[in-house]
Amino acid sequence: MALRPVKPQHETRTRILDAAEELFMQHGFEGTSMRQLTARAGVNLAAVNYHFGSKDALIEAVFKRRLDPMNAERVAALDALEKDGQALASVDIIRAFVVPSLRLIEDAKGGGRNFIRLLGRTYTEPAKTVRALIGQMYAPTMERYKRALERALPQMPADELVWRMHFMFGTLAYTLAATDTVQLIAGCKPEDRYDARLLEERLTVFLAAGLHAPLESSIKKAA
């Protein structure tokens, strides 16, 4: 029972998940039918319900497959940074958060790029269930990063930090969702478009600057 070459054990599940990633990204959840999906995956129509139970359960499985490892990677990166015991620079915290998601845009073959665009798009997804699902998958990681930033920026008011984290998260989300599509980037060299290192550096620098924006704005003048 050992050494059988390719053993297509969960192969059908994987094919379905890959096809779902791609089609959900292209057409959204409601815009993708089980017929399209199973045809693309090269499996039978009934296979999705057999392996996952329902379309909703499939959606959940699509996110779970990638999101759990991605957030584990983020937390591990923070752990590694904090090992030294010395204070963290906020740039490093930002980079630790950004990198695990951006790296996937280079994984065109394995479908990571499809997922990452789907993920970016889903942050603003209206669907009741989906948003809650993602939110709870993210919650512990977000809490962890919030505490890290609080320690790195003790002088920043709590509500200001919350807003700036919100903005940062949004910039990342849009960047993930739009890497392929946006007309603006037309001005950018095509070979740079999928260079994750370049993008993560650009994005990190931008976010760090925003996070450190001066506090004495006209907001305070009003008080």
Instruction: Please state, in angstroms and rounded to a whole number, the distance separating the CA atoms of residues 174 and 44.
Output: 35
DSSP state of 85: -
139 near its own copies, judged by CB under 8 A: yes
- CB of 9 or CB of 217, closer to its own copies: 217
Residue 214 CB burial class (10 angstroms; 0-12, 13-18, ≥19): exposed
Site string for DNA, 29-58 (x = CB under 7 A): ---xxxxx------xxxxxxxxx--xxx--
Q: Which of residues 27-56 bind its own copies (CB under 8 A)?
A: 27-28, 30-31
Question: Is residue 205 near its own copies by the rule CB under 8 A?
Answer: yes
Cα–Cα distance measured from residue 139 to residue 147, given in angstroms and rounded to the nearest whole number: 13
Nearest of 55, 60, 62 to residue 38 by alpha carbon: 55
CB 5 → DNA: shortest distance, Å?
Answer: 17
Nearer to DNA, 58 or 98 (CB): 58
Distance CA 70, CA 109 (A): 18
Q: Does 123 interact with its own copies (rule: CB under 8 A)?
A: yes
Q: Which residue from 10, 11, 26, 72 is in contact with its own copies, where contact means CB under 8 A?
A: 26
Name the H helices within 153-189.
158-178
Cβ neighbour number for residue 60 with a 10 Å cutoff: 18
Tokens 């959840």 sit at which residue?
29
Count of positions on this chain that bind DNA (CB under 7 A): 19
The pair of three-digit structure tokens given for residue 88, joined into one six-digit string: 């963290």
Q: Judged by CB, which is closer to DNA: 14, or 171?
A: 14
For its own copies, give the closer residue by CB, 89 or 188. 188
Give me the residue label for tokens 């997804």. Answer: 125
Q: How far apart are CA 178 and CA 107, in angstroms?
A: 16
> Which residues of the shown chain bind DNA in the complex (CB under 7 A)?
9, 12, 32-36, 43-51, 54-56
> Which residues of the shown chain bind its own copies in the complex (CB under 8 A)?
25-28, 30-31, 120-121, 123-127, 131, 135, 139, 142, 158-160, 162-167, 169-171, 173-175, 177-178, 181-185, 187-189, 192, 198, 201-203, 205-210, 212-214, 217-219
